[in-house]
Amino acid sequence: MEIILYLSVAVIAIAFLVLVIYLSKTLSSLQVTLTSVSKTLDGLEKQLDGVTKETTVLLHKTNALAEDIQKKSESLNNVVGAVKEVGDSVRTFNGSIQNISSSVSQQLESNKEKVAQAISWGNVILELREKYKQRKQAPAQTYTAEDPIPVPSKKRERARS
């Protein structure tokens, strides 16, 4: 019976040895896996640091851009206000022009007869001038014996004036 006891102890020892060998292989495999995970986490941490830096730079640029847009919006508001003032000035100017036009029209309407009389006198003056030029040119012309000499009639010209 002792042999069975020794054999049992030997089988237990062999089983324990097999268990230790498999456990050693498993732990070795686990160590390789954990090393790989550690390297992956280190790479991920470096990438995350890069992304964080880029995000910070992007955030600063976004803030600067928002500030620039705010300034330009304020400038644009000033320009819009100036354009509105120009529009108001043009509207006022147009109103003044319309008032002047209506005033001129009213003056023309009220002075219509005077204007017609002035035009009539202008036409009379032009006719007199033409007659004066014709008189100046008449003595300078040479007449032959066959041509009758024109004799201006003073009574006739006075009647037209």
d(CA 37, CA 146): 140
Looking at residue 159, its pLDDT comes to 47
d(CA 90, CA 101): 16
41 exposed, middle or buried (CB, 10 Å; 0-12, 13-18, 19+)? exposed
d(CA 63, CA 71): 12
Looking at residue 47, its pLDDT comes to 94
d(CA 79, CA 26): 77
> Which strand (E) or helix (H) includes residue 15?
helix 2-110
Looking at residue 136, its pLDDT comes to 87
**CA distances (Å), origin 92, targets 3, 68, 86, 103:** 127, 36, 10, 16
d(CA 130, CA 123): 11
Looking at residue 140, its pLDDT comes to 56
Looking at residue 161, its pLDDT comes to 44
SS3 track for 82-100: HHHHHHHHHHHHHHHHHHH
Looking at residue 128, its pLDDT comes to 94
Alpha carbons within 13 angstroms on the beta-carbon side of residue 62 total 6
**CA distances (Å), origin 22, targets 29, 32, 33:** 10, 15, 16
Structure tokens at 55: 């995000």
Average pLDDT by stretches of 10, the chain with 161 residues = 91 96 96 96 94 95 96 91 91 93 86 87 94 82 60 52 44
